[in-house]
Amino acid sequence: SLSFAQSGFDFFYFVQQWPGSYCDLKQACCYPTTGKPASDFSIHGLWPNYNDGSYPSNCAGSSYESALISDLKEELQAYWDTLACPSGDGEKFWSHEWEKHGTCSGLDERSYFESTLALRKSIDLLAALQSAGIEPDDGSYEVEDVQEALKQAIGHRPGLECNTNISGKRQLYQVYVCVDTDASTLIDCPIFPSTSCPSSVTFPSF
C-alpha cells in the first residue's frame, strides 16, 4: 500500500506498563533517581509494526541526542520513567527506545517523543479501569472485564500482556494500543501481540 511505501511499516503499538507488575518479580526493579513513580501506567514505547506481526528495529539513522529533548525531560520522567536496575534518570531507556523503535518510525527524534507523550496524555488506562471498579489492590479480576473497560475508554480492543509474580500468580503487566502511522489516530489492531493473559489476573498495588 501507499502508506507502506511512505513509512516502511503498517502501524504502531503504543505500549504502557504497570509499574507494580514490573517490580513484583524475582528480579526486583529500581526506582528512578527522581524517586518512586506514581501509581499509574507509564510508557514503555511506541513501536512500529507490520501487519504480519513482525517489526523493523534499529533502523539506520540518527543516534539518540538528549539535547534535542532536554526541555521534555520532566514530562518524560513523569510519564516514561525507568524501573530497570541500576537506578537511572531515564536517558538510557529513552535512548534504547529511540534507537530500537523510534529510528524506524519515520519521525525525527523530537516528534517521536512528543507524539508518544501526547498519546500517553490522551489515554488514561488507570481511570478507565477504576471506573469499572478495577483497582490496583492486589485483587483478582476477570481479564474479560479488563478488556471491556479498556475498550470502552479507547474505542478499540487493546492487547494485554501478563507476567508472573514471585508467588506464581499471573498479573496484568502491559497494555498494547494500536495507532495509525500518523502516530496519533487510534485504530483497531491489525494483529494482536503474541502475548497472553489467563482468564483471571491480579492487578498489584504499587
Active centre residues (catalytic): 44, 97, 101
Nearest to 168 by CA among 142, 124, 201: 201
Please identify, using beta-carbon distances, which residue of 105 and 202 lies nearer to ligand 5GP: 105
Distance, CA of 113 to CA of 117 (rounded, Å): 6
Please identify, using beta-carbon distances, which residue of 13 and 112 lies nearer to ligand 5GP: 13
Using an 8 Å Cβ cutoff, are 159 and 124 in contact?
A: no
Residue 78 φ then ψ, to 5°: -80, -40
Cite the beta strand spans of 8-116 per DSSP E: 11-17, 42-49
Minimum distance from CB of 67 to ligand 5GP (Å)? 21
Task: Tell me how far the alpha carbon of residue 152 is from its chain's centroid.
Answer: 19
Quote the crossing angle between the two packed helices 109-122 and 91-100, to the nearest 10°.
Answer: 110
SS3 for 13?
strand
Q: What is the Rg, in whole angstroms, of the alpha carbon atoms belonging to the chain?
A: 17
Minimum distance from CB of 97 to ligand 5GP (Å)? 6
| Residue whose cell numbers read 498479573 | 171
Please identify, using beta-carbon distances, which residue of 154 and 189 lies nearer to ligand 5GP: 189
Amino acid at 203: F
Minimum distance from CB of 35 to ligand 5GP (Å)? 14
Minimum distance from CB of 100 to ligand 5GP (Å)? 6
65: region left, alpha or beta (phi > 0 left; psi from -120 to 50 alpha): beta
Please identify, using beta-carbon distances, which residue of 47 and 203 lies nearer to ligand 5GP: 47
Please identify, using beta-carbon distances, which residue of 45 and 128 lies nearer to ligand 5GP: 45
Which residues sit at the interface with ligand 5GP, rule CB under 6 A?
13, 17, 22, 44-45, 47, 49, 55, 82-84, 93, 96-97, 100, 193
Minimum distance from CB of 13 to ligand 5GP (Å)? 5
Distance, CA of 178 to CA of 52 (rounded, Å): 14
